[in-house]
Amino acid sequence: MTKALFLDSVFQDRIWGGTKLRDFFGYTIPTETTGEYWAISAHPHGPSTVKNGEFAGKTLIELWAEQPALFGNPKEPVFPLLTKILDANTDLSVQVHPNDAYAKEHENGELGKTECWYIIDCEPGAELVYGHNATSKQQLIEWTRDGKWSDLLRKVAIKPGDFFYVPSGTIHALCTGTLVLETQQSSDTTYRVYDYDRVDKDGNKRELHLEKSIDVTTVPHHDAVLNITTKTTGALTETTFVESEFFAVYKWDIDGKADFEASAPYTLVSVLSGEATLTIDGETTPIKKADHFILPSTCKNWTIDGNVSCIVSTPAK
């Protein structure tokens, strides 16, 4: 098979969600508080389903298990990546994620969660929580115990096009008015540090996980060091955001006809804007804003012709 795998995926209702997944991307959302679209997912809490070709109707979980050659016969027991789009209509909880070793021990073998964010859109003056100001574990414990959130939490101003790498152990939160594409390890483990004392529709506060949060938080905080580069070749401008031990993330801005050669066992593509055609082995398929697809290992070369911007990820090399 040399076709791209186009995907239908799962929406997640969230207390902080809104309607931007409909308003910006045109998706048919299930609620007015839809917070997440798990666009490319093989996680059991929201698996994607192939919608074209001979594997139509198969979940990505099934495909990973039954057709490993499509992914270069990987060693990992589970599909390692997860692409989401998040609509932070209001502030997300302040949270932190474990690394692989901690999650394996404490979360029934779940992967850890290192993630990264591409800011698709945000309101003027928007910001996010990225890191903390505690200089020791003891200070972290004291400030969380005493609710000294303004002392503890580090706020960062953001604008569309910004990129943040969020290693496990990093205290973080998306804030009001932010639309983000998130690339992450395939994990659904989140430890809430603080949730603004808000309540759900039943009047209950959401659970916090302070002991585990303190266990896994990196102290002191260090910003991830990135070497973001941009290269233009013909119709393609490719920005390399990160190449880490978990994944690599790029942005393709295409204006015209761009030819590609595979450099990884498989490639995940999310179209953020525009329209184009994707040609593989002489077969052409239209692609457009809001599409998400995987180029499997059987796709060695492809051409994209049009005007599109895409966020692209590959597994760690």
Residue 199 CA to residue 3 CA, distance in Å, equals 46
Sign of CA dihedral 286, 287, 293, 296: positive
- Which residues have a Cβ under 8 Å from the Cβ of 200 and sit 6 or more positions away? 15, 206
Residue 6 CA to residue 295 CA, distance in Å, equals 9
* Chain centroid to CA 14: 16
According to the annotation, is 209 in a ligand binding site?
Answer: no
According to the annotation, is 243 in a ligand binding site?
Answer: no
Please, are residues 185 and 112 in contact by the beta-carbon 8 Å criterion?
yes
Please, are residues 34 and 15 in contact by the beta-carbon 8 Å criterion?
no
Could you tell me the two tokens for 62? 């099934």
According to the annotation, is 238 in a ligand binding site?
Answer: no
> 207 phi and psi, to 5 degrees?
-65, 140
Residue 170 CA to residue 238 CA, distance in Å, equals 28
Please, are residues 310 and 288 in contact by the beta-carbon 8 Å criterion?
no
Options 14, 22, 145, 192, the catalytic residue: 192
Specify whether 14 is catalytic. Answer: no
Q: Write down how long the chain is.
A: 317
Residue 56 CA to residue 279 CA, distance in Å, equals 19
- Which residues have a Cβ under 8 Å from the Cβ of 146 and sit 6 or more positions away? none
Q: Which residue has the tokens 């002991």?
A: 211
* Residues contributing to the annotated binding site for Zn(2+): 97, 115, 172
Which residues are known to be catalytic?
A: 192
